Amino acid sequence: MESIKIFAPATIANVSCGFDVLGLALDTVGDEMIIRKTSTKGIKITKIIGQDLPLETHKNVAGVAGLALLSELQSNSGFEIEIYKNIKPGSGIGSSAASSAGAVWAMNKLLGNPFNTTQLVKFAMEGERLASGVAHADNVAPALFGGFTLVRSTDPLEIVKIHTPDQLYATVIHPQIEVKTSDAREILKSNVTLKDAITQWANVGGLISGLYTEDYELIGRSLHDTIVEPIRSILIPAFDAVKSNAIKSGALGCGISGSGPSIFALSKGLETAQKVAASMESVYENVGIDFDIHVSKINQQGIKIL
């Protein structure tokens, strides 16, 4: 096997109560990439279709993540990468994570799997560091593991894959405005009240319990964020109206995807997720804001060979 074509999924980080630790992978939204072994040492990004992103290896998240893998392996291997970008950078659904995770996953495959998935997360985090200044794992972990993931610890890195019920669907709406991850981080307060923190970890506990027991109502009751959403939602136009419509249309919960501006909702079943999509769309249609919208089952598998 000298070349593979893969699907690298979009991801939702934080998932309301799980700021910085929880994430999930989408099934119908993601980038496609072709990764090819070559005789020239190093990584060459040969083509990027769909977005205007740097081809220079050191400036490209897939390149940087790939170099981290090669450096650890002390390998003389060489790879060419083509990226067919379907996830818009800055949308809040893990655009950089998909490219970073896709590159290292495919390279590992072509090299005969020298690394386990947690090690791949570590390499892909170097792409995240380039993209946002912080080597966070909450998007690359679900992209690589699939399903819901928990970053239990960053040092040492430990990712826990959480059981994900089969009827869980995500609706994601992306209003066409820009919120930089770095800006969205800066407005956060460095201290929180103990009371709010307790509420948050009670909900993390409830959400994870609901995922294991496939208790959709418990999942819904736990999808609250008392700490980050009240601050970051200010940066997202009509957030309250979109969320309120989603809940009224039957969504289990609704919140900010990653650092925004995308807003996600989780629903039980495709039909509800589609109704939720229509209700979220209507808000931006009424105020005249352009948007993309996606409805997707939770991706249980992560990156796939096409």
What residues act catalytically? 128, 181
Residue type, 249: S
Q: Is the Cβ of residue 27 or residue 138 nearer to a copy of itself in the bound state?
A: 138
Map tokens 């392996």 to a residue. Answer: 73
Least CB distance from residue 163 to a copy of itself, whole Å?
7
Q: Is the Cβ of residue 231 or residue 270 nearer to a copy of itself in the bound state?
A: 231
Q: Is the Cβ of residue 46 or residue 153 nearer to a copy of itself in the bound state?
A: 153
What SS3 string covers 47-66? EEECCCCCCCHHHCHHHHHH
Least CB distance from residue 293 to a copy of itself, whole Å?
29
- Nearest by Cα to 280 from 255, 246, 257: 246
Work out the burial of residue 6: count CB atoms within 10 Å of its CB; fewer than 13 is exposed, 13-18 middle, 19 or more buried. buried
Work out the burial of residue 51: count CB atoms within 10 Å of its CB; fewer than 13 is exposed, 13-18 middle, 19 or more buried. middle
HSE, side-chain direction, 13 A CA sphere, residue 198: 3
Q: How far apart are CA 22 and CA 24, in angstroms?
A: 7
Least CB distance from residue 20 to a copy of itself, whole Å?
5
Least CB distance from residue 200 to a copy of itself, whole Å?
6
Q: Is the Cβ of residue 61 or residue 227 nearer to a copy of itself in the bound state?
A: 227
Least CB distance from residue 196 to a copy of itself, whole Å?
8
Q: Enumerate binding residues for a copy of itself (CB under 8 A).
A: 17-22, 150-153, 158, 160, 162-163, 188-195, 197-198, 200-206, 208-209, 212-213, 218, 221-222, 227
Supply 286's token pair: 């009424």
Q: Is the Cβ of residue 71 or residue 201 nearer to a copy of itself in the bound state?
A: 201
Q: How far apart are CA 260 and CA 229, in angstroms?
A: 10
- Nearest by Cα to 137 from 111, 167, 168, 161: 161
Q: Is the Cβ of residue 222 or residue 279 nearer to a copy of itself in the bound state?
A: 222
Cβ atoms of 140 and 154 closer than 8 Å: no
Least CB distance from residue 160 to a copy of itself, whole Å?
5
Q: Return the ∠ at Cα 140 (arms to 208 and 295), rounded to 5°.
A: 70
